[in-house]
Amino acid sequence: MTAQILDGKATAAAIKSELTTRVEALKARGVTPGLGTLLVGEDPGSKWYVAGKHRDCAQVGIASIQRELPETATQEEIEAVVRELNDNPECTGYIVQLPLPKGIDTNRILELMDPAKDADGLHPTNLGRLVLNETAALPCTPNGIIELLRRHGVELGGAHVVVVGRGITVGRSIGLLLTRKSENATVTLCHTGTRDLSAQLRQADIVVAAAGVPHLIKPEDIKPGAAVLDVGVSRDENGKIVGDVHPGVAEVADWVAPNPGGVGPMTRALLLVNVVEAAERAAGIGNAG
């Protein structure tokens, strides 16, 4: 039987609809949330992602502040824009689109951001708060994956989750979220140094594939009944996305998050959640996490 779809597009649309009401409540109190983005360079994928983030903002009533620098921008020029966004009162939260061009010290840029305005949850203070189980903006892709599973009724408590890939936006941080008491999953983080990836994958109730290696995860690696989320983005010669998960996996798994249409739209929706929650916290409104 073919797996059921973890539909990121529809789930993101539902989240955005809920956020519209919360943004209206903020505006009634005189607070307009504003998302800033800093895009450095000409990468078509990054441009598309940033444009999508601003389209989402328009849909839910969040203001947009867009900053762009050329590929040749220096560390100092990027830092100057980060300082400007830190000081800009219309920008209540912002992101620096990653990856930054070669030669730029990304960690230094992230550290320079005001942690209260870090809408990606990637500032060291916010990652530290996550480790300490304190309230903070949460990394968007991991949080989007959890929300996608939760809203489709896939059980996380007691599940063994195998994550493939150790990048900052997904692999490194998702274990911190999944092993909180509220999720209660057990996590194995695999990477290029893992000796027998297939043996690890066959143990998994849930697989998160974020390696960026086309069709790395094969049907024979998957335990029947597992949930498999494809986060990897590679492109074929026509520019079409090729994920980390082989299409045949859908014949073995119970749940599959496709790529495109799975985790990507959730990343964008959870970014908006971070912006709205930060504005709610600043306005002293109720249950903003």
Ligand X SMILES: Nc1nc2c(c(=O)[nH]1)N[C@@H](CN(C=O)c1ccc(C(=O)N[C@@H](CCC(=O)O)C(=O)O)cc1)CN2
Residues annotated as part of the active site: 53, 97, 120
Tokens of 70: 């050329």
When asked if residue 259 is in the footprint of ligand X (CB under 6 A), the reply is: yes
Q: Does the annotation place 52 within a ligand binding site? A: no
Tokens of 167: 């990048």
Closest to 222 in 3D by CA, of 244, 242, 205, 241: 205
Measured distance CA(223)–CA(200) in Å, rounded: 10
Cα–Cα distance list, 227 to 7, 162, 230, 288 (Å): 13, 11, 10, 30
Taking contact as CB under 6 A, which single stretch among the options 42-50, 56-64, 175-183, 245-253 is the one that binds ligand X? 42-50
Say if CB 119 and CB 94 are below 8 A apart: yes
Site string for ligand X, 141-180 (x = CB under 6 A): x---------------------------x-----------
Size of the site for ligand X (CB under 6 A): 20
Say if CB 205 and CB 223 are below 8 A apart: yes
Taking contact as CB under 6 A, which single stretch among the options 46-54, 60-68, 175-183, 220-228 is the one that binds ligand X? 46-54
When asked if residue 229 is in the footprint of ligand X (CB under 6 A), the reply is: no
Per DSSP, helices labelled H in 152-248 are: 171-178, 197-201
φ/ψ bin of 215: left (φ > 0), alpha (ψ from -120 to 50), beta (otherwise): left
When asked if residue 98 is in the footprint of ligand X (CB under 6 A), the reply is: yes
Q: Does the annotation place 166 within a ligand binding site? A: yes
When asked if residue 140 is in the footprint of ligand X (CB under 6 A), the reply is: yes
When asked if residue 16 is in the footprint of ligand X (CB under 6 A), the reply is: no
Measured distance CA(148)–CA(243) in Å, rounded: 18
- Rule CB under 6 A: choose which of 48, 107, 133, 182 binds ligand X: 48
Measured distance CA(216)–CA(221) in Å, rounded: 10
Tell me the closest approach of the beta carbon of residue 223 to ligand X, in angstroms. 25
Nearer to ligand X, 49 or 200 (CB): 49
Tokens of 281: 């916290």
Nearer to ligand X, 8 or 33 (CB): 8
Measured distance CA(120)–CA(169) in Å, rounded: 9
Nearer to ligand X, 92 or 169 (CB): 169
When asked if residue 265 is in the footprint of ligand X (CB under 6 A), the reply is: yes
Tell me the closest approach of the beta carbon of residue 53 to ligand X, in angstroms. 7
| DSSP, res 101 | P
Select the residue whose beta carbon is closest to ligand X and give its number: 264
Q: Read off φ and ψ for residue 266, nearest 5 degrees.
A: -70, -35
- Rule CB under 6 A: choose which of 216, 268, 279, 280 binds ligand X: 268
Annotated binding-site residue numbers for NADP(+): 165-167, 233
Binding-site residues sit at: 165-167, 233
Q: Which residues bind ligand X (CB under 6 A)?
A: 45, 48-49, 52, 95-98, 120, 140-141, 169, 241, 259-261, 264-265, 267-268
